[in-house]
Structure 1
Amino acid sequence: MASSDILVDARGHRCPVPTLRLRRALEDAPTGARVRLLADDPMARIDVPHFAAGAGVTVLEAVDEAGVLSFLVEKPR
């Protein structure tokens, strides 16, 4: 994770909370910002890409490590 990335740790929360926290972070973030979301709810695997497509943000990375999903998304410029 780059030092300029915004981290949203939503582990321990069930959907839709991780996606809602991601949305709020993106609303508050400057244009071009990158936000990393950590979630452990398996539904985030579906919800986050669906949200990103509808919101016009780009999913740069989606990784599942030991049950923790990590999404890196970028707010459009």
Structure 2
Amino acid sequence: MSGQVSSDTPSDKPDLILDLKGLKCPLPVLRTRKALKPLAPGTLIELETTDPLAGLDIPHMCNEDGHTLVSSERTETGHRFRVRRG
């Protein structure tokens, strides 16, 4: 189910939270990839961004890298994503 939104509930506590606010493209994707690389498959991370392009870039990265986009939501300042490592 790579790159798709799964049925996990938003109440699932993430194993790692990344604050990527203030970073511009391509840094949110690069930092997310770097953070995911050492983690075990199935690990849930949450990231917050302010870069408007992250709304496209993070789902695309999940699809390309085989991770599951658990949720994606807009916030007052940008986006919040929950990604499960593939």
After TM superposition, the score normalised by the length of structure 2 is 0.81
Number of residue equivalences: 75
1:57 partner letter: H
Report deviation, 1:67. 2.3
Query: Per residue, is there more helix in 1 or in 2?
Result: 1
Question: What CA distance in whole angstroms lies between the structure 1 residues aligned with 2:70 and 2:35?
Answer: 16
For the aligned residue pairs, the C-alpha RMSD in angstroms reads 1.2
Secondary structure class of the residue paired with 1:49: helix
Structure 1 residue 63 and structure 2 residue 63: aligned?
no
Secondary structure class of the residue paired with 1:45: helix
Question: What CA distance in whole angstroms lies between the structure 2 residues aligned with 1:43 and 1:68?
Answer: 9
User: Runs of 4+ in structure 1 displaced over 3 angstroms?
Assistant: none
Query: Per residue, is there more strand in 1 or in 2?
Result: 1
Q: Deviations over 1:12-68 (max 9, x none)?
A: 010110111110111021121011111000000011111110000000000111122
Secondary structure class of the residue paired with 1:38: strand
After TM superposition, the score normalised by the length of structure 1 is 0.90
Q: Counterpart in 1 of 2:46?
A: 36
